[in-house]
Chains A and B, each alone.
Chain A
Amino acid sequence: MNVNRRGFLKASAALGGAFTLEFSFPLAALAAKGMPVPEVNAWVVIHPDDRVVVRIARSEMGQGTYTALAQLVAEELDCDWAKVSSEFASPNEHIRRNRIWGSMSTGGSQGVRSSQDYVRKAGAAARTMLIQAAAARWKVPAAECTVERGVITHGPSKRTLRYGEVAAEAAQLEPPKEVTLRDPKDWKIAGKPLHRFDIPDKVMGKPVFGVDVVLPGMLHASIAQCPVFGGKLKSVDSGAAEKMRGVKKIVREPDFVAGVADSWWRADQALQALKIEWDAGANGSASTASIMAMLREGLADPKLPQARKVGDGDTALATAAKVIEAEYSSPYLNHATMEPQTCTAWLKPEGFLEVWTSTQNGEASMAAAAETAGLPLEKVEVHKMMLGGGFGRRGGPQDFVVQGVKIAMAMPGTPVKMMWSRDEDMQHGFYRPASIVRMKAGLDAKGNLVAMHTRIACPSILKVLMPQALGAEGIDFTAVRSFSDMPYAVPHQQVDYAMKNGHVPVGFWRAPGQQNGFYRECFIDELAVATGRDPLEYRLALLKPGDKNRLVLEAAAKAANWGGALAPGIHRGLAVVDGFGSYAAMVAEVSVSASGTLKVHRIVVAIDSGHVVNPDTCRAQAESNVTYGLGSILYQENTVKDGRIVESNFRDFPLPQMSEMPRVETVLVPTGGFWGGHGEPAILPLTPAVCNAIFAATGKRIRSLPLKHHDLRS
């Protein structure tokens, strides 16, 4: 039992029912009584009554990892699923136990696939130790014992012991050096569409999110940052605001101002009453046009680094029978999580900092909090709350934690819950990069694709958020993906990358680099059309036998009856893109009315992720990707004027509604042998499948988004 957790639990126990921390720390009651937590190993806690609590290091934002990882642990542990629950691992304890839970980062569809190996081993190790403990008590060889659903049986004597009866003894044993994991074909708990642990609390409206934190004497904060990225605070006249009801303080920082009051509304009212002068700095005249000009300048650079070079593209293009060229582009996009950025921080008199936040990376939040407060990591705890959406916004950048901690430092001893307004959230994101791509294809006399030269101008996400991940010559794989690793067998390929960053912060928007799937798969469609070939046949001809892109293409085409008859007015489009460890192919069925209105009726998506841990959450993620991507196809964009983001709320950055949703049919075709993700892959083929269907319907080739700028009237 660690001291900080116990200290924290004592503090929270005093709150009574106001704040149900049981959600994040179900062991609260036990620990508050000073009883030892029966931990078999860092992942597996087993109570005397057989309840199993699985510690989860990754965050939960609706993608289901909180349950899926427990399924994997429980599978190897071989316990009664009805008695299993999850709790988040403590980032503070994580640091003090030498990062025992591996990565806390929750992005890149990595939650399950990058932790499956060690969490399964943790479950298997715990099972081995529990059996050994029972065998030791019976003084028999462990090899004579078997286990099923948490009950250990000694074969010869038929004696039994429950996990809960031997957990404390098992915890004292040395963990096994090696364990054998179950063959997925024998899974009984993993691989099943089990109900998610987090759903009952969410439908009951329990306070599980970052914005739901309530602490004794807590105040609320609303903040304003310089509307121009990189700008600074010049002056604030807070005379009127400070006299407003419930207002406790106006916090001034170099790059933001916060109103602090006894309710969020009062804090926000005070913020709006401030007279703030900003120094826009060097970027006050930037606009969408200037940013596009910057990207074009990158495309014109004759000496770009190459993300891929196969064969001799220039010569092949010069000698090609036919050359086809196209330019595509995409705008910036905000994540628009339903829960705005939020952080509650409490700098305690004893010099310990506690933070509650909706984060995709508890460890990164803790590092940001410690650095901001000038405290060692050991003096900081981050309580990971459920996220009201993440989509990449709350992982790399920890801006909201830095702000929350700064506000808490201005109010020492008092917990303060900061939440951004929607306008603040819309205008201070880490946006999906805007980009322009030029593709040039060379076809031989038979129409075969022999050369492809792609030039990409795109701001780099990694440059700021993860510079250690940049490749040679500053290649950002998130900017060149789907071209640099294109599966199509084209003998001559070249991919050039122009890193043009601009002043708008960019970040990991669901499936970073997904816009390249749009460019590539629509361009491939252009080539198929130009050569009079069926888009499915054209792609299959370019894919090597055994390529899993083929498999998902064929699965999607079959499920959607590609080539079969369609209802009048309905048209199909197709695309295949791999990424995040998985392969995804999609058929979109759309109609375009005489007045030019697009309706997406049906989406069929086939996904090969190797293994499937919870098929229902995998399907939910496919449905989610379709909805998330649909808004970006139809009407979402973030534009820049006078250095600032123009859009401010859902009125000018709309989200799709119920009435716009297509039917989504997900075909899971796991072929085993690898572990792919599900949080992002299905968004990869979405935009090109829909835009290819629009071409089939109208003959209009969509090369830029959103569609609201295009006239689809016939």
Chain B
Amino acid sequence: MLKLNVNGKLHEVDVEAEMPLLWVLRDHLGLLGAKYGCGVAICGACTVLVDGAAVRSCVMSAASAVGRKVVTIEGLAANGLHALQEAWIEHQVPQCGYCQTGMILAALALLKDKPRPTDDDIDQAMTNLCRCGTYSRVREAIHAVAAKSAPKKA
């Protein structure tokens, strides 16, 4: 039995230590927001937060998530929508939407690190892949959230 802290709740899961966190979330905990895209940590559709950092959950073993705080898209906002999700709707970011939960969590980790990111910061941090081509709107939405939440530098 592994004890995992996911979205503030402690779960006991009877899985192999090496099962990737993505599959614990999806098939054992019923949290389907994180997606499988490549299985080799390239695309980022499986992105979740582990202790606040954006992590490719398809290559992180369940055992290595023990004792750490995992946040998925389902746990992003206690009630209603997170500011990022609101901005994603306002800017009509998703197309097919498959990669977008990963995008949003990667953006959250970026903003925690850099509350007012430059375009270069966004390029560096947002390595998630989107086949539909929502990148320019992801960028706009991140800037919009940053502008609302962070005080302007003098």
Listed in ascending order, the chain A residues whose CB lies under 8 Å from chain B are: 18, 61-63, 195-196, 198-200, 202-209, 211-212, 214, 220, 245, 262-266, 336-340, 386-391, 419, 421-422, 616-617, 620, 623-628, 649-651, 655-659, 661, 663-664
Contacts and interface: CB of A to CB of B under 8 A. Distances in A.
B49 interface: no
B129 A649 contact: no
A62 B36 contact: no
B131 A337 contact: yes
Interface string B33-56: 111111110110100000000000
Given A205-B73, A649-B38, A62 B127 contact: no
A616 B92 contact: yes
5 contacts: A263-B19, A338-B35, A627-B131, A657-B127, A661-B133
A232 B120 CA distance: 50
A263 B19 CA distance: 10
A627 B43 CA distance: 15
A657 B40 CA distance: 16
A664 B93 CA distance: 15
Contacts of A203: 81, 85, 88-89, 93-94, 97, 100-101, 104
B147 interface: no
A601 B139 CA distance: 15
Given A203-B88, A658-B123, A663-B136, A422 B39 contact: yes
Given A18-B30, A202-B97, A207-B32, A338 B45 contact: yes
A18 B29 CA distance: 10
A649 B136 CA distance: 24
A264 B129 contact: no
A200 B95 contact: no
Contacts of B16: 245
Contacts of A650: 38, 40, 42-43, 129
A269 to B, nearest CB: 9
Contacts of A220: 27
Contacts of B88: 199, 203
A210 to B, nearest CB: 10
B126 interface: yes
B75 to A, nearest CB: 10
A299 to B, nearest CB: 33
Nearest to A622: B133
A649 B81 contact: no
Nearest to B77: A204
A199 B87 CA distance: 11
Nearest to B126: A658
Given A204-B73, A663-B136, A658 B122 contact: yes
Given A205-B33, A658-B126, A625 B133 contact: yes
A214 B95 contact: no
A624 B137 CA distance: 11
- Residue among B38, B81, B93, B132 facing the most chain A CB atoms (10 A cut-off): B132
Q: Please tell me the size bucket of the interface on B.
A: 35 or more
A338 B96 contact: yes
A205 B36 contact: no
B38 A422 contact: yes
A649 B94 contact: no
B95 to A, nearest CB: 3
B74 interface: yes
A386 B96 contact: yes
A657 B88 CA distance: 19
A339 B94 contact: no
Given A220-B27, A649-B40, A265 B19 contact: yes
A620 B129 contact: no
A208 B98 CA distance: 9
A386 B131 contact: no
Nearest to B80: A204
A650 B26 CA distance: 22
A659 B85 CA distance: 22
Contacts of A388: 35, 96-98
Contacts of B127: 657-658
A387 B96 contact: yes
A649 B122 CA distance: 24
A627 B132 contact: yes
Given A199-B92, A202-B94, A205-B101, A339 B132 contact: no
Contacts of A419: 36
A205 B99 CA distance: 10
A389 B95 CA distance: 8
A658 B85 CA distance: 19
Contacts of B99: 338
Contact of A204 (B34, B85, B135): B85
B35 to A, nearest CB: 7
Contacts of B138: 658
A319 B38 CA distance: 56
Given A264-B23, A658-B126, 8 more contacts: A63-B95, A204-B73, A204-B85, A211-B35, A245-B16, A338-B131, A338-B132, A620-B137
